[in-house]
Structures are given as C-alpha cells and as structure tokens.
Amino acid sequence: MLNKILKPLFFIALIVSVVATTLVLVKGQFSNADADSKISSSPLYASNLPDISGKMQNFGEYQNKIIIVNFWATWCPPCKEEMPELIALQQSYKDKNVIVLGIAIDDPAMVAEYLKTSPVNYPVFADESKGSLLGEQLGNDKGVLPYTVIINADGKVVNTHFGRINKTILEAAITPLLSL
C-alpha cells in the first residue's frame, strides 16, 4: 500500500524538479541589476587579487571599460564549459573597450595547473576567500558558480547571471553598452 503511494509521489517530485530546473535555465539569462541598486562596482575597483603567477593586480586599471567578470572554479563543470565562449567573446570584442576577467574561487596552484591545459586569452585571478567575498559584494548572494557580472564603461553594474553563460547571451547584454 505504501509503495503504491510513494511511487507516484516520487514521479511527481521528479517532474516538479525537472520543470523548476528548466525554468531556471530558460529564464536564468541575465537579471537586470538596475532593479537592485545595492550592487556597486566599487568593491571590484578597490580590489587587489593575485593573477595566476601570484602577482597582485589592481582592478582599478579596468575602469572606463565594459567588464565581464566571471567567477568560476576548476572543480565546476559548467564553469569550464563556458570558458571557450568567454575566450571567443574576448577575441571578438578586445578592440571595443571590452574585457573579460576570470576570478577563480579556487586554489591558485590548481588554477595555474588547469590553465596550462586550457589556456585563456583574458586575465585570470585566483583567491578562494577574497574572490568569494568579491563575488558576494557584486551580488552573488547564493554562492553559485559560475556567476557573471557585467559592468558598463561608467562603472555601473548593469547585469548579473547565475549559472552557465554563453556568447550569445553575453553579446545581447553588452551590445547596447557599446553604443553608449
């Protein structure tokens, strides 16, 4: 008797979770950060994080650029899946005042090792604790990876995205910023 009840409940729960996941993936796209005026880019510009060689870098040097900040980790499959598209975007827009910045929430040695076999054409920084804090300050209140933030050339956070991103979604977000 109990088995007769549990089996349909299991399938209902499974269907609900698949539908919910699909809605998140379809609707997930970018959320408009304009609606959440609490997100400021100031923490990014005030940050110093080590690049993969361990040298501290100041993010203030990226002011007046359109910035795509991508938080990721070597242990995160969707993070690694989106990297070729971030590489393609950086290549396509490098002469248009656009920069992709990768911030690994990971051990710097593991990041450096990973990038030996999967090189990127954009700056990558690695610091598990400072990177996590910066992600939180830039709107990642869920602790989700990957997490992407778009900052316009005026330094305003204009979009955020939880989960895997692709070049098409990014282009749709940055194209209006190019004409400003």
Residue 173 lies in a domain: yes
Residue 13 lies in a domain: no
In DSSP terms, 100 is beta-bridged to 68
pLDDT at 97: 94
Residue 71 lies in a domain: yes
Residue 21 lies in a domain: no
pLDDT at 3: 56
Residue 15 lies in a domain: no
Biggest alpha carbon–alpha carbon distance for the chain: 68
pLDDT tens readout for residues 147-160: 999 999 999 999 99
Distances (CA, A) of 179 to 63, 153, 155: 18, 11, 16
- The domain of 101 spans 29-178
Neighbours of 92 (CB within 10 A): 13
pLDDT at 180: 60
Closest CA to 67 of 4, 165, 159, 167: 159
**CB-based contacts of 19: which residues, under 8 Å, 6+ apart?**
none
Which residues does the chain have with pLDDT short of 50?
A: 6, 9-11, 13-29, 33-36
Residue 124 lies in a domain: yes
Name the domain count of the chain: 1
pLDDT at 7: 56
Cβ neighbourhood burial of 51 (10 Å; 0-12, 13-18, 19+): middle
pTM: 0.80
Q: What is the CATH classification number for the domain harbouring 119? A: 3.40.30.10
> CA angle, 162 as apex, 22 and 77 as ends, to 5°?
80
Distances (CA, A) of 87 to 50, 118, 123, 134: 20, 11, 11, 22
Closest CA to 67 of 98, 41, 31: 98
78 preceded by cis ω (within 30°)?
no
Residue 53 lies in a domain: yes
Residue 158 lies in a domain: yes
